[in-house]
Structure 1
Amino acid sequence: MMARRKNPSGNPNVEDLLNRFAAEEENFLRREFLAPAMRGGSVRVRIGRVACKIQIEPDNFAGWGIFQPTSHTHARLVRRASLSERRTYLDLFPAVRLIVCRRQGNTWLAAAASGGDSRIRIEGMAPLRLAEEIQVFDCVRARYDGSHFWFDELEMRHDPAAAAYLRTALNHDIAPDELERPGLTGEERAVYELNYWESVGEEEAADESGRSPRSPPHRRRSRRLRPGEEPVEADPVRRRLRASLSHAGAQLVDYLERSDSFRVSFRVGERSFTSTVAKEDLTVQVAGICLNGEDAKFDLASLIGVLREGEQNDELYAVGDDGMDEEE
């Protein structure tokens, strides 16, 4: 047997490295792997010490998945990852506290909040990946893998009433320097001001104050809407839901976004309701009242007519998240 010649320089042997990587690739093909995936058909995995891009099928999958490699460059989805598997993955990375700022298309943008891992610095806003059931001004915990901030959970140590207060204030067009709730952090006030100026509109704000909207005066009165003018809504989802509800005479209160649906809270007259509707066409999935299994026959706007009629006849029975079980 011929002895392998030692490398006199002490540097790693290139042939050894290539052989080791080839062995790791073969081992990779034999095992399933977990990865977060965004729409677009690819994920990043680490084979040995090398980060590799893998094309996945189906290419429209978004979420936490378990994948089986079919080659060194492709993999297919086996199933969605369980909560415990997702937790194990997220715990590998440092935690960062963020404040949800706004939506950009289908992606939430977030800014740094106080606390979290001091090694990670964020300038401006960063995309918050795979975030569900969050709202603007929420304080969340994310995990940073060196490239992306992956949504972990709502920050339980943060007072959720602060975010609710800011959403209500923005809905009523309260100027940033008129916020009166004690305990708001500097980061929360900055995110609020960002949303406020976008909601008001730079041109109208400049006309009213006579100054640049990027340099607001110390005290500025809340802008009054002109007769017949609708408030400017920066969030496209909120704008869509508000339009559907207002067309039927209802008022949007709030919403939560899920992977394929919206959980919408709204008011009809003096009464509050919560329904779940499909993202694609706002078809009702869970009406929030008993419709004898015919929820899907209605969309969000037509549901309002049913609610009004049921209220007049005293025939509304709550079901779902806020009432009795739907199967009862």
Structure 2
Amino acid sequence: MNYYQHHIGDFNNATRHLSLIERAIYRDLLDMYYDTEKAIDASNLERLARRLQCTTEEQQAALVYVLDEFFTLKDGVYVNNRCEREIAEYHGKRRQASEAGKASAKKRAEKKQQNPNDGSSGADQSNSQSSTDVENPLNENLTDAQPTNNHEPVTNIIDSSSNAQKPNFPLPPIQFSQYQAHDHKRYTILECVGQYPLQQDFIDYGIERFPEVHYQDMISMFTNYGDFFSSKGESAKNTPSLWLVKWFTWIQNNKDDVRRKREAQHLPQKQKNYSSAATRTSNEVNSWMDEIGTDDTAPSIRDVHEVEGVKYA
């Protein structure tokens, strides 16, 4: 992969507890993961540290901490569920773009092979030629393009309780059962991400169904949603439409909590309030310490139980 999406809010929230060295190492590990499209090799940590320029003991300890915090050791490699999902979605989009480009090229070739004297009128021939000319510039680069939405359009379900058609009546929210309803195969979440542009689709559908949810909250929830079901692996398989059902349920159950956490991060920290008595006592102690001083000329402190050289218990 030559690029990947970096969500600043997600990264800052996930790494706020890290030191500057640990954050830098984490970014380098992500770059390595996406560049090679492979999990991090765990067979030789010394070589990995050298590749990341972790030369001091502090940097090497930071590397081990970041690996344990954000990666899972499986079969000799460190796996990151977010990276795996992004890589799978990237290849899914490339495959869809390639298939769309091939289909478009085949359609244009079939049109060119048609006999211009097959009984069509001159107007039909002109329209056909115009259609071909319009499509060519639109489809020439489809093979290498990154489509944003190549699935079949979602059909809104309209209330059929009345036969009367009301003009300009707003359509209801998208119904989850319509997403890829023709696909009855069951996928893990990673397999589904590889097959469909799941992230942008689900975020768009989530915003349409829950317009009150902040966009950044939607992204955070999708990240947690993907990480949760990625960890289940083969034990969690559903059709695309059922994955969307689970996504809407996830939003409903988590939107308030995610909103509260986001708002709490932007609240100014409250100053500690001291009672007037505590403040007065603190001032008296400071004044007393100033009078005593710390040099040799300071007056000696006598035991309150000592009278004329005699101490009482």
Q: Same fold (TM over 0.5)?
A: no
Where is the strand percentage greater, Structure 1 or Structure 2?
1
Compare the two structures and name the one with the higher helix fraction: 2
Query: Which structure has the greater CA radius of gyration?
Result: 2
Interval of TM-score (by shorter of Structure 1 and Structure 2)? under 0.3
Query: TM-score under structure 2 normalisation?
Result: 0.22
* More relative contact order, 1 or 2 (CA 8 Å, 6+ apart): 2
Q: Provide the TM-score with structure 1 as the length reference.
A: 0.21
